[in-house]
Amino acid sequence: DSGVTQTPKHLITATGQRVTLRCSPRSGDLSVYWYQQSLDQGLQFLIQYYNGEERAKGNILERFSAQQFPDLHSELNLSSLELGDSALYFCASSHGTGSYEQYFGPGTRLTVT
């Protein structure tokens, strides 16, 4: 158990809808990272927050947004969902402003029908 929690575990929704994925980092970790894992694209970095501030951005679509709250939990919002957004979404955390040593949560499996 990495200490990172993600909810929900599974999410099934329809195209055009909006969903929110939630992540709680390990105790004491200030950075939260979001990744998308799909069969064709592999594991891709989306965005990083450090202590409430956006720190780095990857290949995140404009339809996706994230934020980190004062209690350090983070939410990833996905809107106008398309079939291609079906994937595993992982949250990871680390202590400092950026680290290769990231602790991953169990993921949220999103299915868009």
Largest CA distance in the chain: 38
DSSP 26: P
Please say which residue, 4 or 11, places its beta carbon nearer to other proteins: 4
Three-state DSSP class for residue 110: strand
The distance of closest approach from Cβ of residue 105 to other proteins in the complex, given in angstroms and rounded to an integer, is 5
In the structure encoding, which two tokens stand for residue 70, read together?
């004062």
Residues making contact with other proteins (CB under 8 A): 2, 4, 31, 33, 42-45, 48, 55-56, 58, 90, 92, 94, 97-107
CB of 80 to other proteins, least distance (A): 26
